[in-house]
Amino acid sequence: MAMSFLKPHCTHRLPSSSSSILNSPFPTISPTKSLSANGSSFSTRIPNHFRALPISSTPTKPFSFKAFSSQISASAPKPDEMPARVGFLGLGIMGSPMAQNLIKAGCDVTVWNRTESKCSPLISLGAKYKSSPKEVAASCDVTFAMLADPQSALDVACGEHGAAKGMSPGKGYVDVSTVDGATSKLIGTRIKATGALFLEAPVSGSKKPAEDGQLIFLTAGDRSLFETVAPLLDVMGKSRFFLGDVGNGAAMKLVVNMIMGSMMASFSEGLLLSESVGLDPKVLVEVVSQGAISAPMFSMKGPSMVQSLYPTAFPLKHQQKDLRLALGLAESVSQPTPIAAAANELYKVAKSRGLSDEDFSAVIEALKVKLQSQSKE
Ligand SMILES: NC(=O)C1=CN([C@@H]2O[C@H](COP(=O)(O)OP(=O)(O)OC[C@H]3O[C@@H](n4cnc5c(N)ncnc54)[C@H](OP(=O)(O)O)[C@@H]3O)[C@@H](O)[C@H]2O)C=CC1
Ligand SMILES: O=CCCC(=O)O
């Protein structure tokens, strides 16, 4: 089905030469981004055993985890192909900077957030406001949603004044929240019942990449909507993967965050153990940064963790939600994930200690209790 909303309303101009890149006020679209948007370089990163198995090989599953391919457009987005009117629902840590980048790129953006006051900074930048997801969807060609969890994503998409009520043929709905595949599929079904198109597009990357337009989109669903919103994804992100059927984007995101949650729990144990045996944890952070287990996450979060500071980029409650959803995903295919299960318990302890809204690196606090027998020695 052809999308009917390709209009030159987004005024952002892509750099066509190095000098125009230097003059661009927006760091989000750069030669690096154009180069990274090269299909072959991305596809070589996908192991062969993940490639396009037939959907019919998993007939009893609620959705196929296996039938997908990785795609990224090699072509630069064309401003005259930007969707004309863009809605944005959910203006939290991630949604606000993402919407802001769209506005700064010249898009005609209409916002809604449950807590209305969070719309004000975006309205100051030029956004329009509507008082319900339904009204946003009705007034826009494509609507993005960045909500906290499966329940809020469902409520905003399918509730009484939800976006689905404002959808119709020719429109598109792009859910960038991190949810499970079943929720995403339910939302997709409701949206598509209106004749609109649906794309799930959870993101890898946190607050700073969102601010810098450096997110990684893990999309699945309607391929034509993926193509249509590609210029918008490229304003907000540095790369985009198209993974096939709805559910595959959610699954990829949950696997990534399952790994991340376990890594952070393990790193926390290492920091505390180093201190307990008389080492300087700051030196551990430095040693780790130079070796094979170096990760940007450790280098970025380690120094503040050593000071017991957890400025929130990715709320701990969301990391625990993602571990919970990843464990459900693993269970659905009988895949053992004992490390992630143990990590999940740690995040649950951290939540019970009031750390839900701290950064997920605050999980280290759940380990700051010496075992009884050890403290007596
Ligand atoms: N922060 C991060 O680093 C990343 C987060 N994510 C994922 O992105 C999503 C958003 O994350 P983030 O921005 O950090 O989260 P926030 O908690 O900052 O924002 C959550 C958003 O959801 C809204 N919301 C929550 N409950 C409801 C509800 N019942 N009805 C309507 N709206 C609701 C909030 O509205 P209100 O303002 O009224 O509370 C807010 O707009 C999550 O799924 C998260 O897992 C993905 C990648 C990175
Ligand atoms: O879902 C949150 C992911 C955070 C990150 O990728 O840094």
Q: Which residue CA neighbors atom 37 of ligand 1 most closely?
A: 115
* Residue 77 Cα to ligand 1 middle (Å): 28
Residues 108 and 130 sit within 8 Å (Cβ to Cβ) = no
Buried b or exposed e, range 236-260, using 16+ CB within 10 angstroms: bbbbbbbbbbbbbbbbbbbbbbbeb
* Residue 311 Cα to ligand 2 middle (Å): 14
Which atom from ligand 1 is nearest to the alpha carbon of 151?
Answer: 29
Which atom from ligand 1 is nearest to the alpha carbon of 202?
Answer: 46
Residues 241 and 71 sit within 8 Å (Cβ to Cβ) = yes
Length in residues, the chain: 377
pTM here?
0.84
Q: Is 92 in the pocket of ligand 2 (CB under 6 A)?
A: no
Query: Across 9-18, 24-33, 35-44, 272-281, which has the greatest mean pLDDT?
Result: 272-281
| Cα three-residue angle 127-129-135, rounded to 5 degrees | 130
Q: Which member of 130, 171, 185, 253 is catalytic?
A: 253
Distance of CA 254 to the CA centre of its chain: 10
Residues 167 and 157: their CA atoms lie apart, in Å, by: 10
Rg (CA), the chain: 21
Q: Is 110 in the pocket of ligand 2 (CB under 6 A)?
A: no
Ligand positioned closest to the Cα atom of 180: 1
Distance of CA 285 to the CA centre of its chain: 27
Whether the pLDDT of residue 56 is over 50: the answer is no
Residues 320 and 242: their CA atoms lie apart, in Å, by: 26
Ligand positioned closest to the Cα atom of 111: 1
Q: Is 360 in the pocket of ligand 2 (CB under 6 A)?
A: no
Residues 326 and 339: their CA atoms lie apart, in Å, by: 12
State yes or no: is 253 an active-site residue.
yes
* Residue position matching structure tokens 């969301």: 318
**CA-CA distances (angstroms) from residue 137 to 23, 54, 164?**
35, 34, 7
Task: List the one residue out of 71, 66, 43, 72 whose CA is nearest residue 247.
Answer: 66
* Residue 16 Cα to ligand 2 middle (Å): 31
Residues 239 and 230: their CA atoms lie apart, in Å, by: 10
Residues 220 and 200: their CA atoms lie apart, in Å, by: 5
Q: Is 178 in the pocket of ligand 2 (CB under 6 A)?
A: yes
Residues 266 and 342 sit within 8 Å (Cβ to Cβ) = no
* Residue 8 Cα to ligand 1 middle (Å): 30
Residues 1 and 209: their CA atoms lie apart, in Å, by: 33
Which atom from ligand 1 is nearest to the alpha carbon of 91?
Answer: 41
Helix (H, G, I), strand (E, B), or coil: what is residue 263?
Answer: helix
Q: Which residue CA neighbors atom 6 of ligand 2 most closely?
A: 205
Whether the pLDDT of residue 34 is over 80: the answer is no
Tokens of 139: 């007034």
Tokens of 270: 């290492």
Ligand positioned closest to the Cα atom of 359: 1
Whether the pLDDT of residue 223 is over 80: the answer is yes
What is the tens place of the pLDDT at every residue in 132-160?
999 999 999 999 999 999 999 999 999 99
Beta strands in the chain (DSSP E): 85-89, 108-112, 128-129, 142-145, 172-175, 197-200, 203-204, 215-221, 237-242
Whether the pLDDT of residue 21 is over 60: the answer is no
The ipTM value here is 0.99
Task: List the one residue out of 377, 338, 343 whose CA is nearest residue 361.
Answer: 343
Q: Is 204 in the pocket of ligand 2 (CB under 6 A)?
A: yes
What is the tens place of the pLDDT at every residue in 163-204?
999 999 999 999 999 999 999 999 999 999 999 999 999 999
* Residue 165 Cα to ligand 2 middle (Å): 31
Whether the pLDDT of residue 376 is over 70: the answer is no
What is the tens place of the pLDDT at every residue in 83-101?
789 999 999 999 999 999 9
